Amino acid sequence: MGEERCHRYAIYFTPEEETPWYEMGSRWLGRDPVTGLAVVPGLPDGIGLEQWRDATASPRRYGFHATLKPPFSLAADRDAEELRLGLRSFAASRQPHSSVRLRVASLGGFLALVPSGPYPGLCQLAADCVEYFENFRAPASAEDLSRRRHPNLNERELENLARWGYPYVLDTWKFHMTLTGTLEPEVRHNFHQYLGQLFAKQCEAPMPVTSICLFAEREPNSDFFLMERAALG
């Protein structure tokens, strides 16, 4: 019998386990996507435990990551083992990126780690992921399309939503590693200051992008977990 089918899958980048980047990102979000263990970071005065839990609730579900191929349901004629093999084959044909420098920034009301400059190689990697894994994706449901069709989407984003099931892919994609959900301006300012300090030392060194990962969501609204990692190159 084949591997049990999960509700959704996604292709993400996340740093190698047991590295400072992985440990710091997972600790801040409050969950390790490999072990599933909950962790609580040390918090400064001015950020309470409940406020932190609320602020990180949404990104905690997905784990510390940057999206390459957004979450999708598996096509009826595909199985998880084929997807694993596809991940390995794709990764082996792409080159690693060894010098991605990051900074904490505000993006549309939430906070994330973003590149400090342009990295066209990363954009190409993400675009290749979207296209390569498209034949594994089941068509998006009407409910999914409706949920992702925000009033502020531009024409190109609406085209991407119709074609790829997600608005922010290809030329509208931006590398980011989400640190909070949407926050009110004053709260976001406080978190921004703290996260800038928290990640300051780590951001002095580049984050190596040497592998990509298959994440999965076993049941609707459950936490995503790291299913497989494949080395680039």
Domain count, the chain: 1
Residue 149 has pLDDT above 80, yes or no: yes
**What is the pLDDT confidence band of residue 99, given thresholds at 50, 70 and 90?**
confident
Measure the CA–CA gap between 104 and 95, rounded to whole angstroms. 26
What letter does residue 136 receive in the DSSP assignment? G
Instruction: Specify the length of the chain in residues.
Output: 233
State how far the alpha carbon of 95 is from the alpha carbons of 13, 122, 217, in Å.
14, 10, 27
Q: Are 198 and 56 in contact (CB under 8 A)?
A: no
Q: Does position 173 have pLDDT exceeding 50, yes or no?
A: yes
Task: Identify whether 164 is part of a domain.
Answer: yes
Would you say residue 218 lies in a domain?
A: yes
Contact residues for 149 (Cβ-Cβ < 8 A; gap 6+): 158, 161
Q: What is the CATH number of the domain that holds 28?
A: 3.90.1140.10
User: What is residue 2's predicted lDDT score, i.e. its pLDDT?
Assistant: 63
- pLDDT grade for 1, boundaries at 50, 70 and 90: very low
Q: What distance in Å separates the CA atoms of residue 81 and residue 134, rounded to the nearest whole number? A: 16
Q: 């784990």: which residue's tokens? A: 63
pLDDT in tens, 42-92: 999 889 999 999 999 999 999 999 999 999 999 999 999 999 999 999 999
Does 1 fall in a domain?
Answer: no
Q: Which residue segment(s) compose the domain that 20 sits in?
A: 8-231
Q: Which residues pair with 176 in a beta bridge?
A: none
Distance CA 186, CA 188 (A): 5
- Give strand pairing partners of 231: 211
- Quote the pLDDT of residue 175: 96
- Indicate whether 98 pLDDT > 90: no
Task: List all residues 6 or more positions away from 9 whose beta carbon is below 8 Å from its beta carbon.
Answer: 71, 72, 73, 74, 80, 83, 136, 214, 215, 216, 217, 227
Q: Tens digits of per-residue pLDDT, 201-213?
A: 999 999 999 999 9
Q: Write the pLDDT tens digit of every residue in 106-136.
A: 998 999 999 999 899 999 999 999 999 999 9
